[in-house]
């Protein structure tokens, strides 16, 4: 194999596929990146058996030559060294040549590296996915949907299914739900499906985080293909495979209260800053608890008390407070995560008592909600 390739394109592709390469794998060849040169261009692949990413660099783009394939072929190179080398090479183009025993020469300007490559035949094949179950989501919308849900997945392996985000598609609507059993994040979005498709899958949170880093903020459609145990996200030059989590996701719809006893409307930014300040002293105490109490004249009091350190009290003027008086305690971190995920200048918080979960929504938008379980304080 011998190719001459534009450095910037190579660096970008290597960075993308590196997100799937794990240093802690039991399969040695998976610490490498597979490189395949064909007439069409160069394909790079990285995988850790949970996630696989394939990035394609076309030979030409907009009448500009990006890759000159002198001799077709393939090789697997150690990802860690290859990515560092490519990033630090001096010139705009890089020449990669594979000789006997997969020894690979990487040249740029007057710099020359020799890396011992591995046999590409030993690299696991990517799943071949039949593209019959497919739907489309614009990349920027997909990024929002991921960002607004994935933070709420569980980090504990005791219930593996909760480490993923539940995606349900029905009547051309995608509903994404994540919960760690102390809080829940939900986001709905319209999608384009081929037919009256119905899916109910659980995608690992880790996969979605990596996908989010790779996707560009554009309205280019991402094609999403679902199979029994895999999901594939496809953009112009990228394939992103992730395994799906096995098992049934709990029915979360019954957790979301339908009526409320106390409702308040607040400015998102002011409320977030007040919770942030209250959490400064709470952080030291047990699990970061702040307390919210309704006062008269549409004012709520946010306070936190750590006996060893001190206490903080702040009053926040709300746009509206209706219903019963309320005193409730909750995790400041969960509240701040929820507020950062919601879009909109104003939010509505609906409480159903001091010990029941409460719901936070943007004021005029039903497509997203955050739910938090209060903390008992004695």
- Residues whose CB falls within 8 Å of the CB of residue 319, separated by 6 or more in sequence, listed in order: 265, 266, 267, 298, 346
Which residues constitute the domain of residue 20?
2-122
Residues 10 and 74 in one domain: yes
231-278: pLDDT as tens digits: 999 999 999 999 999 999 999 989 999 999 999 999 999 999 999 999
Task: Give the count of domains, the chain.
Answer: 3
Burial status of residue 263 (CB atoms within 10 A of its CB: 0-12, 13-18, 19 or more): middle
Q: Name the domain boundary from 199, 220, 253.
A: 253
Residues 183 and 72 in one domain: no
- Residue 351 CA to residue 262 CA, distance in Å, equals 5
Dihedral, 174, 179, 184, 187 alpha carbons, nearest 10 = -20
Residues 229 and 285 in one domain: no
Q: Name the domain boundary from 66, 95, 122.
A: 122
Average pLDDT of every residue of the chain: 93
Residues 118 and 156 in one domain: no
Average pLDDT over residues 71-80: 97
Average pLDDT over residues 283-289: 68
pLDDT attached to residue 378: 59
Domain assignment present for 263: yes
Q: What is the domain-level CATH number for residue 24?
A: 3.10.150.10
Position 288 pLDDT exceeds 90 = no
Average pLDDT over residues 133-151: 94
């Amino acid at each position: 194999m011998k190719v001459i390739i534009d450095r910037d394109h190579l660096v970008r592709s290597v960075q993308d596929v590196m997100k799937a390469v794990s240093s802690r794998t039991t399969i040695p060849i998976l610490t490498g990146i597979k490189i395949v040169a064909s007439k069409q261009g160069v394909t790079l692949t990285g995988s850790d058996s949970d996630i696989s990413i394939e990035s394609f660099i076309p030979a030409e783009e907009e009448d500009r030559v990006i890759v000159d394939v002198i001799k077709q072929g393939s090789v697997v190179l150690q990802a860690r060294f290859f990515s560092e080398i490519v990033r630090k090479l001096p010139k705009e183009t890089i020449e990669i040549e594979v000789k006997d025993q997969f020894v690979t020469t990487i040249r740029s300007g007057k710099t020359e590296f020799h890396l011992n490559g591995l046999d590409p035949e030993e690299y696991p094949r990517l799943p071949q996915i039949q593209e019959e179950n497919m739907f489309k989501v614009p990349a920027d919308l997909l990024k929002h949907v991921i960002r607004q849900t994935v933070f709420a997945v569980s980090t504990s392996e005791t219930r593996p299914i909760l480490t993923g985000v539940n995606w349900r598609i029905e009547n051309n609507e995608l509903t994404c739900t994540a919960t760690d059993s102390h809080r829940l994040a939900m986001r709905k979005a319209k999608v384009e499906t081929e037919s009256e498709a119905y899916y109910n899958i659980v995608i690992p949170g880790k996969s979605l985080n990596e996908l989010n880093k790779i996707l560009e903020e554009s309205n280019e459609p991402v094609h999403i293909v679902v199979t029994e145990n895999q999901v594939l996200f496809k953009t112009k030059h990228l394939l992103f495979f992730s395994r799906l989590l096995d098992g049934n996701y709990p029915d979360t719809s019954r957790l979301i209260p339908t009526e409320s006893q106390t409702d308040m409307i607040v400015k998102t930014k002011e409320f977030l800053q007040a919770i942030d300040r209250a959490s400064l002293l709470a952080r030291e105490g047990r699990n970061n608890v702040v307390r919210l109490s309704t006062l008269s004249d549409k004012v709520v009091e946010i306070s936190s008390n750590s006996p060893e350190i001190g206490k903080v009290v702040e009053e926040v003027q709300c746009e509206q407070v209706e219903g019963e008086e309320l005193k409730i305690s909750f995790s400041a971190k969960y509240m701040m995560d929820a507020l950062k995920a919601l879009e909109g200048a104003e939010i509505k918080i609906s409480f159903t008592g001091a010990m029941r979960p409460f719901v936070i929504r943007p004021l005029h938008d039903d497509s997203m909600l955050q739910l938090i379980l209060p903390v008992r304080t004695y």
